[in-house]
Amino acid sequence: MGRNKIFRVREMENIDKTKLLTKVIFNEYPLLILGNLTQNTYSFLTYEDFSSTKCAAAGSFDDLIDSGCETMHDMDKDLFKKTFSRDNLLKEYAAGKGKVSLRVFQEGDDGVLRKVEITDFLIKDENSEDVLVISFNKNI
C-alpha cells in the first residue's frame, strides 16, 4: 500500500496544475478580460464560445465598455455602463471593494437575447501600483 501511495503522490506532482486550473476556468468562463484601469487598456485572455464577439481583442477599456453597452438589452444599458465604467470600478476599488458583479441581458451575434453574468475582480498590480481588473463573463 505504501508504494502505491508514493506513486500517486509523484503522479500528482507531474500534473501541470496551472494548466489544469486555466482549463477549468476557461471552460466555466468563455470570456476572460484583463484590464488596466489606471492605463485605460484591456486585452482578452480567452474569447471562445461566448455569445457576443463584436469588440476588439485589445484596446481602450473605455471603448470596451462602450462596445459592450451596444450589445445590452435597452433595459440594462445604463446599469451596465454605470457599473462597469472605468471611473466606477476605480471608485469601487478605492472604497475597498475587490469584486463587482452583475447579471444583464445581452444580444448575441446570432440576435438571441441571453442572460450573462459579469464578475470583475479588482486588484493592484504589485509592480506598478496600477489598478487592474480581471473580468469573468459567462452565459447563464
CATH number of the domain to which 107 belongs: 3.30.450.20
Would you state the pLDDT for residue 55?
73
Q: How far apart are CA 56 and CA 50, in angstroms?
A: 14
What are the DSSP E strand ranges found in 1-140? Answer: 31-36, 41-47, 58-60, 99-107, 113-124, 131-139
Question: What single-letter amino acid sits at 3?
Answer: R
Confidence band, pLDDT 50/70/90 cuts, at residue 39: very high
pLDDT(5) > 70: no
* Tally of domains in the chain: 1
Grid cell locating 126: 504589485
Tens digit of each residue's pLDDT (9 = 90 or more) over 68-99: 999 999 999 999 999 999 999 999 999 999 99
Higher-pLDDT residue of 57 and 42 is 42
Higher-pLDDT residue of 31 and 8 is 31
The predicted model scores a pTM of 0.83
Confidence band, pLDDT 50/70/90 cuts, at residue 109: confident
C-alpha torsion angle, residues 104, 110, 111, 112 (rounded to 10): -50
Domain holding 74, by residue range, is 2-139
- The residue count of the chain comes to 140
| Residues 6+ away with beta carbon under 8 Å from 130 | 36, 37, 38, 39, 124
